[in-house]
Amino acid sequence: MSEQKKSPAEQEKIGVYVCHCGSNIAGTIDVQEVAEWIEGNPNVVVSRNYEFMCSSTGQELIENDIKEKGLTRIVVASCSPHMHEKTFREATERGGLNPFLYEMANIREHGSWATNDKQAATIKAKALVNAAVERVVHHAPLEKIPVEINPKTLIVGGGIAGITAALELAEAGHHVYLVEREGTIGGHMAQIDKTFPTLDCSACILTPKMVDVGQNDNITLLSYSEVESVDGYIGNFNITVRKKARCVIDELCTSCGICEEKCPIKVVDEDYGAGITYRKAIYRSFPQAVPGFPVLDKENCTYFQTGKCKVCEKVCPTEAIDYEQEDEWIKFDVGNIILATGYDLFDARKIPQYGYGRLANVFSSLEFERMVNASGPTGGHIVLRDGETEPEKIAIVHCVGSRDQNYNEYCSKVCCMYSLKFAHLVHEHLPGAEVYNYYIDMRTPGKGYEEFYHRLLNEGTHFIRGRVAEITDADRQPGEEGKLIVQAENTLLGLQQRNAVDMVILSAGMEARHDADEVSKLFKMGCDYDGFFNERHPKLAPVATMTDGVFIAGTCQGPKDIPETVAQGGAAASQVAKLINQGTVMMEPVRASIREDECSGCRICNNLCPYNAIEFDEEKEVSRVITALCQGCGTCVAACPSGVIDGAHFTNTQVLAELEGILWDVQSDVTAKQEVL
Amino acid sequence: MNDQYEPVLVGFLCNWCSYRAADLAGTARIKYAPNLRPIRVMCSGRVDPEFVLQALRSGADGVLIAGCHPGECHYVNGNIKALRRFSLLKNTLDQWGIEPERVQLLWASASEGTVLAAAVDRMTEEVRALGPLRWSEKVLGEKAAVQAAVEEV
């Protein structure tokens, strides 16, 4: 690539097209003046202004001018390159020019829309157009880089989003590695009793899918495993997964469950059981777990703590217990990655005035979910913490940790609906009980959701509009003794009310996973302000990320219910399937290259590269860019003390020419002085 | 336009965060000072300090370098490299007597159109208060030389 300035003899023939965008640009910027003014540039042969450059007639203008007037460079002054760069590159190509001999001036988003000052906007537009003209002279024809797509896919997270995506891809004939941190797939959905608004049994609709995952030959299920490292780029990711030692040999275990039955140690199940049930030291979270192999919890196992016991080993009929088992590191390559890592439930202990963890009969939503489940500790009976008393009055508090400036400002989207479901389940299980739902706004957008709300209104649930201020056991009035008093303003009546109830359920919201930030760095994509993974576009690319080949699905992207989560799992799978079917993708040729004969071998660039894409040739004592690994950030270009690294399409010459061009009006002053000197 | 002095600022905006933040500011029709002239780079880590100096030499009154927030860089940590270079550059500029307000570093994510717009407004006012840079006179002390040259001619 030439770093020399073009001599006047090598003049380019540039066509400039200034777009009106209806009145979006022309309403603020004098497009005609800009177009006429730029015609004065010695390299500009044609300069037009047109109402809609992105229309087919607008694009034909470019194509025809290239053919008829022999243009060698194209500049379009219109919207952001993120909007229409592709459109005009293609038009340039159709006209017969290399698409990279085109440059865009963003006079809409950065120009007409950003100010009302017409004169200033026109000056800025001239600067941007002139910068593009000065820059495009130095453009070089480039070819996109073809990258082959490995048809295998990594899916991280075995909740309903990951399960859906895995099955969609596997059934389409593509191999999937499904990595799950826990001993079994299923995720939060496996903990839920019923799903709103249809009241389907959650396990009944989920477990067949889990079984499908376990039986599908196209799915390699790595449970009790975590992704340790991710290298590479779209089409060619190198993955390392740590398969944690579960002390059970997969190949020998028949999932008979005898070890679990005979294990003498009982442990509170904090994960699946929400802290209200017990499990053994060797356990499966639930009987339908997939895979069915148990996990040995070393911290609570008597053998690991005292060196004695080994009951599980003695009772195992297939000798599948292996106390010496060690963590295993598995390496494999994939072409695409789907992250479906789910959410954390808001910890209601963070709101001390609600008394969770301090007042016995304040329950978290997950605790209630487990309690009301037929497979839960009480067999589905709703009872107080004493394990026997049936509550007569129950308060359900919405928006716990959501829509609250002190915790999370966003709406968690599912809590209104699951609170309604709780109210319904109480009516069903305890027909005489009174239920009070404290809500801020009732949010029921979804198919059949509003109807479900009306059903609850008819079932006799009391709806009180107001945020609960406090839940206390300090009785002040007769009848409050031994009860929980819910203090809230009923904003529809404008009254402060005390309500003595037996049980309170806190409907906690969804939060980003506590380690979402680390995970996002591992996969080189970003998190938003609330910690959820950032999508490429909030409307048009909700499951893609800024990193090519990395997709997101489900609640790791933001709070959502099961239907939406499933839809995103399917959407992510179809995005991946599209890439697999394409076989190759064309990558932007924005890559660095080193002029080896001029390289001094100082190695400054070697350690700067975040992708280890620069290798050092010991023999020749020069550095070299591995093009396949380079992502084109250009930090090595900026750092090279000899200036011998070229960042294609962002060369020093191009950027400096753009800079000179953008300062056209203040430049004259400087050059005048230089001439005098 | 009235007689108020309008500083000219050059912005080096990274493709993934701050350029998109400026796009978003426009799409949301946030009105801010038209004094910033943006140049797109793939990453704030691409900004060679030489670009900044060249901008000032070529007549810009100030330069804004904007990138993704630390930890959110599209290229892992290019913004941290930008920060390191910026810190070194600031030392040099300081020794030349160039006020710190003239060269600023900003983190603005793709969703922070308001942050970018507010920063441009603030920086425009700060540089307006400082007045034109006049590189050759102020920095190189060439005013006398220019005058001498003019007289000679």
Q: Please report residues of A whose CB lies closer than 8 A to that of B58.
A: 659-660, 663, 666-667, 670
pLDDT digits (tens, 9 = 90+) for A438-489: 999 999 999 999 999 999 999 999 999 999 999 999 999 999 999 999 999 9
- In this prediction, residue B70 carries a pLDDT of 87
What DSSP character marks residue A321?
B
| A3 pLDDT higher than 70 | no
Residue linked to tokens 């350029």: B19
Q: Which helix (H) or strand (E) holds A666?
A: helix A664-676
- In this prediction, residue A36 carries a pLDDT of 96
| A5 pLDDT higher than 70 | no
- A359-362 long-range contacts, Cβ below 8 Å, gap at least 24? A359/A471, A359/A472, A359/A473, A359/A484, A359/A504, A360/A384, A360/A385, A360/A386, A361/A385, A361/A391, A361/A484, A361/A502, A361/A503, A361/A504, A362/A471, A362/A484, A362/A503, A362/A504, A362/A506
Nearest to B46 among A117, A647, A662 (CB): A647
Nearest to B78 among A526, A633, A663 (CB): A633
Nearest to B22 among A109, A665, A669 (CB): A109
Q: Report the distance separating Cα A70 and Cα A96, nearest Å.
A: 10
Q: Tell me the two tokens of residue A592.
A: 């660095």
pLDDT digits (tens, 9 = 90+) for A396-451: 999 999 999 999 999 999 999 999 999 999 999 999 999 999 999 999 999 999 99
- In this prediction, residue B111 carries a pLDDT of 80
Kindly report the three-state secondary structure assignment for every residue of chain B. CCCCCCCCEEEEEECCCHHHHHHHHHHCCCCCCCCEEEEEECCHHHCCHHHHHHHHHCCCCEEEEEECCCCCECCECHHHHHHHHHHHHHHHHHHCCCCHHHEEEEECCCCCHHHHHHHHHHHHHHHHHHCCCCHHHHHCCCHHHHHHHHHHC
- Are A555 and A122 in contact, with CB atoms under 8 Å apart? no
Report chain B's C-alpha Rg in angstroms: 17
* CATH 3.30.70.20 domain position(s) in chain A: 592-647
- In this prediction, residue A588 carries a pLDDT of 87
Length, in residues, of chain A: 677
CA neighbor of B44 nearest in space, from B107, B123, B102, B88 = B107
Strand partners, B37: B10
- In this prediction, residue A4 carries a pLDDT of 45
Q: Report the distance separating Cα A227 and Cα A187, nearest Å.
A: 17
- Are B78 and A610 in contact, with CB atoms under 8 Å apart? yes
Query: What's the mean pLDDT in B11-25?
Result: 94
**Domains, in order of start, for chain B:** 9-152 (3.40.50)
- In this prediction, residue B145 carries a pLDDT of 65
> Over pLDDT 70: what percentage of chain B?
92
pLDDT digits (tens, 9 = 90+) for A586-615: 988 999 999 999 999 999 999 999 888 899
- In this prediction, residue A1 carries a pLDDT of 38
Length, in residues, of chain B: 153
- Angle of helix A652-662 versus helix A118-136 axis, rounded to 10: 150
Count of other CB atoms within 10 angstroms of residue B21: 27
Q: Is A638 near chain B, with CB under 8 Å?
A: yes
Lowest pLDDT segment from A57-61, A228-232, A364-368: A228-232
| B139 pLDDT higher than 80 | no
Grade residue B1 by pLDDT with cuts at 50, 70 and 90.
Answer: very low
Query: What's the mean pLDDT in B90-98?
Result: 91
Mean pLDDT of chain B: 90
- In this prediction, residue A677 carries a pLDDT of 45
pLDDT digits (tens, 9 = 90+) for A68-109: 999 999 999 999 998 899 999 999 999 999 999 999 999 999
Residue linked to tokens 């799992």: A569
Query: What's the mean pLDDT in A300-321?
Result: 94
Count of other CB atoms within 10 angstroms of residue A670: 16
pTM for this model (two decimals): 0.81
Q: Is A522 near chain B, with CB under 8 Å?
A: no
Q: Please report residues of A whose CB lies closer than 8 A to that of B38.
A: 106, 110, 128
**Closest Cα of chain B to A124: distance in Å?**
7
Query: What's the mean pLDDT in B114-127?
Result: 97
**Closest Cα of chain B to A574: distance in Å?**
24
Higher pLDDT, A3 or A69: A69
What chain B residue is nearest to A128 in terms of C-alpha separation? Answer: B37
Q: Please report residues of A whose CB lies closer than 8 A to that of B74.
A: 524, 526, 546-547, 633
**Closest Cα of chain A to B82: distance in Å?**
8
pLDDT digits (tens, 9 = 90+) for A185-227: 999 999 999 999 999 999 999 999 999 999 999 999 999 999 9
pLDDT digits (tens, 9 = 90+) for A119-133: 999 999 999 999 999
* CATH 3.50.50.60 domain position(s) in chain A: 344-511
Q: Is A661 near chain B, with CB under 8 Å?
A: no
Q: Report the distance separating Cα B120 and Cα B118, nearest Å.
A: 5
pLDDT digits (tens, 9 = 90+) for A608-666: 998 888 999 999 999 999 887 888 999 999 999 999 999 999 999 999 999 999 999 88
Nearest to A635 among B43, B110, B146 (CB): B43
Q: Is A633 near chain B, with CB under 8 Å?
A: yes
Interface ipTM: 0.94
pLDDT digits (tens, 9 = 90+) for A33-61: 999 999 999 999 999 999 999 999 999 99
pLDDT digits (tens, 9 = 90+) for A512-545: 999 998 898 888 777 777 889 988 888 889 999 8
> Over pLDDT 70: what percentage of chain A?
97
- In this prediction, residue A209 carries a pLDDT of 97
Higher pLDDT, A283 or A375: A283
**Closest Cα of chain A to B44: distance in Å?**
8
**Closest Cα of chain B to A116: distance in Å?**
7
Fold category of A344-511 in CATH: FAD/NAD(P)-binding domain (3.50.50)
Q: Report the distance separating Cα B33 and Cα A334, nearest Å.
A: 47
CA neighbor of A290 nearest in space, from A351, A364, A215 = A215
Helix/strand/coil for A613: coil
- In this prediction, residue A406 carries a pLDDT of 95
CATH code at A592-647: 3.30.70.20
- Are B56 and B133 in contact, with CB atoms under 8 Å apart? yes
**Closest Cα of chain B to A528: distance in Å?**
9
Residue linked to tokens 């009785």: A475
Q: Please report residues of B whose CB lies closer than 8 A to that of A663.
A: 8, 10, 37, 55, 58-60
Grade residue A286 by pLDDT with cuts at 50, 70 and 90.
Answer: very high
Grade residue B54 by pLDDT with cuts at 50, 70 and 90.
Answer: very high
Higher pLDDT, A180 or A273: A180
Greatest mean pLDDT among A520-529, B18-27, B119-128: B119-128
| A2 pLDDT higher than 60 | no
- In this prediction, residue B144 carries a pLDDT of 63
pLDDT digits (tens, 9 = 90+) for A324-355: 999 999 999 999 999 999 999 999 999 999 99
- In this prediction, residue A530 carries a pLDDT of 87
* CATH 3.40.50 domain position(s) in chain A: 11-144
Tell me the Ramachandran region of residue A609: left when phi exceeds 0, alpha when psi lies from -120 to 50, beta otherwise: beta
Mean pLDDT of chain A: 93
Query: What's the mean pLDDT in A302-320?
Result: 94
A11-144 is a CATH 3.40.50 domain = yes
